[in-house]
């Protein structure tokens, strides 16, 4: 496993990390999930990402139960806050009240004394940015979190937060978690990638395999019965991108992967990791074989020729 610094901060994370959206605490049974987590750790993965809103705390609780066999200092545990957690009008957003209370609850769910990385799941347009930044700074000063970051913020929103932290001598966000894959390349054109690269903000990208579409498994005449596309409860996202055009592009991806003796998943992940600014790619797995394949991507270095071929397709 290879590791990269999380932006300009000192901590290093595995380039392949484990996420828990739609899997742990609901989508995967306890025994399978436990097997996946333990295998990931044994193969060098140290970053485990979740959020308070994932299955309303059950994903955090799952990690809390199943990561306790490992030494805490060997783990980088990341979670998020922002989402609506209950009917309580204040149990959401990035107000000081909710950020502090959410962090306390996540600490209990994760069964840990501190959280390595707490991220703003989205931008809160109803709360003053200074209030949010000061709330995260308080948690760091209290030792309840070590770093903070953001997710799906615009370039301007990130810049405003950084400038505010500099102005008031607060701890700055160290990372950003945007969606990034061959089919979703918005951060290349909206200024987010460049701003993060130029300001030492690491990227932990989510959905690097586009909900599994870039694995090529949905190009088969008959996809697996237990695949996400066939999961009526959780297939709303994959259905929106599983278009004929995208499936045709994925078929070309599979061909290029085969020409290079690697899987389509490996190719898609290695393509993301061609950017040194990307500290880690968040992957999820419902089966151990998926994780075993994904881990191989950490050792793959793509040639300029392969990258250019992909750019022509995507």
Residue-level pLDDT, tens digit, the chain, 314 residues: 999 999 999 999 999 999 998 888 777 888 999 999 999 999 999 999 999 999 999 999 999 999 999 999 999 999 999 999 999 999 999 999 999 999 999 999 999 999 999 999 999 999 999 999 999 999 999 999 999 999 999 999 999 999 999 999 999 999 999 999 999 999 999 999 999 999 999 999 999 999 999 999 998 755 555 555 555 555 577 888 999 999 999 999 999 999 999 999 999 999 999 999 999 999 999 999 999 999 999 999 999 999 999 999 99
Return the SS3 of 81.
strand
Quick one: which H or E segment has residue 65? helix 58-66
Q: Give me the architecture of the 3-209+262-301 domain, per CATH.
A: Alpha-Beta Barrel (3.20)
Rounded to 5 degrees, what are φ and ψ at 307?
Answer: -60, -40
Give the pair of three-digit tokens for residue 267.
């190719």
Rounded Cα distance between 103 and 174, Å, is: 18
Cα 216 from Cα 252, distance rounded (Å): 9
- Answer for the pair 148, 174: CB distance below 8 angstroms, yes or no: yes
* pLDDT value at residue 29: 86
Active site residues: 54
Q: Where are the domains of the chain?
A: 3-209+262-301
314, 182 contact by CB (below 8 A)? yes
Token digits for 117?
């990385």
Angle, CA 191 vertex, CA 185 and CA 192 arms, to 5°: 70
Q: What is the pLDDT of residues 253-285, one digit of tens each?
A: 999 999 999 999 999 999 999 999 999 999 999
User: Measuring CA to CA, which residue among 134, 178, 115 is closest to residue 152?
Assistant: 178
Q: Is 7 left (phi over 0), alpha (psi -120 to 50) or beta?
A: left
Classify strands 12-14 and 3-5 as parallel, antiparallel or unpaired: antiparallel
Handedness of CA 237, 240, 243, 245 (dihedral sign): negative
Cα gap 47→87, rounded to integer Å: 32
Helices (H) and strands (E) in the chain, counts: 12, 10
Judge whether 197 and 180 are in contact, CB under 8 Å: no
- Rounded to an integer, what distance in angstroms lies between the CA atom of residue 72 and that of residue 49? 15
- pTM for the complete prediction? 0.93
């Amino acid at each position: 496993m290879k590791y990269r610094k999380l932006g300009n901060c000192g901590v290093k994370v595995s380039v392949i990390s484990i996420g828990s959206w739609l899997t742990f605490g609901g989508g995967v049974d306890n025994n399978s999930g436990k097997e996946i987590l333990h295998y990931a750790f044994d193969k060098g993965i140290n970053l485990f990402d979740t959020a308070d809103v994932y299955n309303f705390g059950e994903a955090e609780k799952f990690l809390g139960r199943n990561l306790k066999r490992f030494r805490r200092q060997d783990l980088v545990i990341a979670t998020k806050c922002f989402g609506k957690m209950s009917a309580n009008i204040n149990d959401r957003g990035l107000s000081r009240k909710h950020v502090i209370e959410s962090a306390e609850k996540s600490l209990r769910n994760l069964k840990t004394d501190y959280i390595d990385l707490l991220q703003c799941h989205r931008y809160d347009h109803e709360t003053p940015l200074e209030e949010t930044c000061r709330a995260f700074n308080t948690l760091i000063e209290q030792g309840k979190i070590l770093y903070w970051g953001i997710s799906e913020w615009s370039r301007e929103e990130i810049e405003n937060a950084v400038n505010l932290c500099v102005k008031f001598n607060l701890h700055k966000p160290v990372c950003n978690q945007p969606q990034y894959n061959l089919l979703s390349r918005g951060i290349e054109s909206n200024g987010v990638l460049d701003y993060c690269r130029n300001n030492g903000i690491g990227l932990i990208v989510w959905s690097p395999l586009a909900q599994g579409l870039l694995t090529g498994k949905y190009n088969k005449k008959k996809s697996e019965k237990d695949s996400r596309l066939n999961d009526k409860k959780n297939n709303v996202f994959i259905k929106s991108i599983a278009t004929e055009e995208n499936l045709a592009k994925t078929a070309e991806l599979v061909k290029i992967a085969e020409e290079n003796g690697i899987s389509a998943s490996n190719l898609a992940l290695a393509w993301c990791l061609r950017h040194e600014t990307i500290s880690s790619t968040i992957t999820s797995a419902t089966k151990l074989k998926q994780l075993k394949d994904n881990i191989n991507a950490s050792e793959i270095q793509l040639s300029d020729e392969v990258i250019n071929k992909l750019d022509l397709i995507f």
